[in-house]
Chain A
Amino acid sequence: MDKESTRLNGKDLINVGIFTAIISVMMILISFIGFIPYLMPTYCIFMPLLIGIPWMLFATKVNKFGMVLIMGILLGIVLMLTGMGWYAMPLCIVVSLIAEFIMKSGDYKSAKKDILAHGIFSLWVFGSYIPIFLTAEQYWADRGSYGEEYIATAMSIFQPWLAPIMIVACFVFGVIGAWIGLKVMKKHFVKAGIV
C-alpha cells in the first residue's frame, strides 16, 4: 500500500471524529463541576489533565498535517452548540495551528513534542471563559476603580488578572496531562500491542 503522504484519507477523518467525540464527552462531563460557580476556574486544571490521555492516543494516529486543526475546529463547533457562543473558535484555530506545527516539527514521531503540543492545544478550554472575562471587564468599567471597592472584592473570583493565570494553568496541566497520558499509553496500549 503506497502511502498517500499528505492527503487526509477517510480513516484519518474518522479517527479525528472519534477522538473529538471522546474529548467532547469528557469535557461535558467535567463541566458539571461548574454547577458550583466557584469551581468553574478549575476547568483549566481538570480538563487538560484528563484529556491528555486520549490526546496521546490520538497523537499516535496523527501523521499528517490537518488532523489536529480539524479537531480544534470541531471542538469550537461543539462549544458553540452547547451555548458557549463563537468566541472560542478563533482561539481553537490558533492553538490548533500552533500545536500542528509543533507536532510536525517532530515529524509526528516525537512524544515530547506531542506533550508540548497538548499544552498549547489545551488553551481551547479557556475559550468558554472569554465571555465571562469580558463581563468582568465590563464590571470594572462600570464601577470605575474605587479603592475600597477593589480591595473588598479582591478575594472574589474572576478578576481580570485571573485570566493569565488560567491560561498558564491550561498549559501546565495540559503538559502534565499529556505526560500522564504517555505513561498510560505505555502501560496499557503499548503493552497490549495495540499501538
Chain B
Amino acid sequence: MSGIGFGFAEGRKADGSGARRALLDPRTKIALLVTMPTVLLSGAGGSHTAPLAIVFALVAAALLLSCGNIATAVFGILAVAFTQALWTLLAPLASGGAYMSLYLMHGIMVHLIPCMLMAAYAVSTTTVSEFILGMEKLHVPPLITIPLSVMFRFFPTVIEEATSVNDAMRMRDIRLGGRNVGKMVEYRLVPIMMSSLRIGEELSAASLTRGLGAPTKRTSICEIGFRAQDIVVLTICAFALVAVFAIMFGLVS
C-alpha cells in the first residue's frame, strides 16, 4: 500500500499550495464516493450495470493515473478486465450453481472495483487536514472530526507496532502452529494494545497542552473550495442520483 499514503504527494503542503493543489474539493470526492455505489446498485443492479461500472472504473483509473498512482490504476483495470472476460467467456457455458456463483462474483467485482478505485483516488489525493476541513464545512461536529483525525493518524502507528511485535516474535522464534492459534493472536494483540494505550495517553497529554478541546472554533491553514471542475462533477452526480431515484420509483423506465 505504499503508493496510497494518506494524502501524500510529497512536497504538497497541507494548505494546498506547493507542488500541486488537488484537482477536486474533498467534498466533491465524498459526493463521488456516495454517488458511485448508489448508481451501480440502482434498480438495475449487479451484472446489469456492468457497462456503467466499467466506465466508472476507467474514470477512476484515469484520476488515479493523473495523481501518479499508476500501480493501483493498472491493477484495478486489470481486475475489471479479468472479471469481465471471465463472465463473458464462461457464463454461456455454466449453469446452476456455477452460473450463480459467476453471476455473483461478476456482480460483486463490477460493483466493488470502481468504488475501490475511486476511494483509492480520494484517499491518496486528500490530506487529512483537507478532509477534516471538508467535513467541518459540511457541518460535521468536532465530536466526529477529532476522533477521525486521530484515527487516521493512528493507522500507521498500529501497523508499526504490529510489525515490531511480529519481528519480536520471529526473533524469539515463537512460531505459529506449534502452539494453538489462540495464543498466537493473544501474543500479538496484547502487546499491540498495550503499546497503543500508552501512545494514546502520551498523545492525549501532548495534544491537550496544545489546546485541543478548547471551546473556540478551530481554524485551518488549508484552503479548499469549489471550482469549475467541482461544479461539473457535482452536477453530474446530482443528475445521476436523480436518475437513479426516478428509475427506482418507476417514474421512468
Binding partners A and B? yes
Binding site for B on A (CB under 8 A): 8-11, 13-18, 20-22, 24-25, 37, 50, 53-54, 57, 66, 70-71, 73-74, 77-78, 80-87, 131-132, 134-139, 149, 152-158, 184, 188-189, 192, 194
Nearest CB of chain A from residue B196's CB, rounded to whole Å: 6
Quick one: which of A16, A21, A154 has the most chain B CB within 10 A?
A21
Query: How many residues in B have their beta carbons less than 8 Å from beta carbons of A?
Result: 67
Q: Complex Cα distance A82/B199, Å?
A: 26
Q: Note all chain B residues with C-beta closer than 8 A to A20.
A: 147, 151
Quick one: which of B46, B122, B157 has the most chain A CB within 10 A?
B46
Q: Complex Cα distance A155/B113, Å?
A: 26
Q: Assuming the A-B contacts A74-B147, A152-B95, are A11 and B186 also in contact, with contact meaning beta carbons closer than 8 angstroms in the complex?
A: no
Q: Note all chain B residues with C-beta closer than 8 A to A82.
A: 116, 119
Q: Within 8 Å of chain A (Cβ to Cβ): is B249? A: no
User: In residues 180-232 of chain B, which contact A (Cβ within 8 Å)?
Assistant: 185-186, 189-190, 192-194, 196-197, 199-200, 203-204, 207-208, 212-213
Q: Assuming the A-B contacts A37-B108, A83-B118, are A156 and B151 also in contact, with contact meaning beta carbons closer than 8 angstroms in the complex?
A: no
Nearest CB of chain B from residue A66's CB, rounded to whole Å: 7
Q: Assuming the A-B contacts A13-B150, A21-B150, A139-B100, are A83 and B143 also in contact, with contact meaning beta carbons closer than 8 angstroms in the complex?
A: no
Q: Note all chain A residues with C-beta closer than 8 A to B45.
A: 134-135, 137-138
- Judge whether B116 and A136 touch: CB under 8 Å: no
Q: Complex Cα distance A66/B142, Å?
A: 13
- Judge whether A135 and B111 touch: CB under 8 Å: yes
Tell which of B122, B149, B193 touches A17, judged by Cβ atoms closer than 8 Å.
B149
Q: Complex Cα distance A13/B200, Å?
A: 11
Q: Assuming the A-B contacts A80-B119, A81-B122, A194-B197, are A135 and B37 also in contact, with contact meaning beta carbons closer than 8 angstroms in the complex?
A: no
- Judge whether A21 and B154 touch: CB under 8 Å: yes
- Judge whether A22 and B115 touch: CB under 8 Å: no
Nearest CB of chain B from residue A12's CB, rounded to whole Å: 9
- Judge whether B101 and A156 touch: CB under 8 Å: yes
Q: Complex Cα distance A22/B162, Å?
A: 10
Q: Complex Cα distance A188/B193, Å?
A: 11
Q: Assuming the A-B contacts A135-B45, A157-B101, A158-B104, are A83 and B119 also in contact, with contact meaning beta carbons closer than 8 angstroms in the complex?
A: yes
- Judge whether A17 and B146 touch: CB under 8 Å: yes
- Judge whether B119 and A18 touch: CB under 8 Å: no
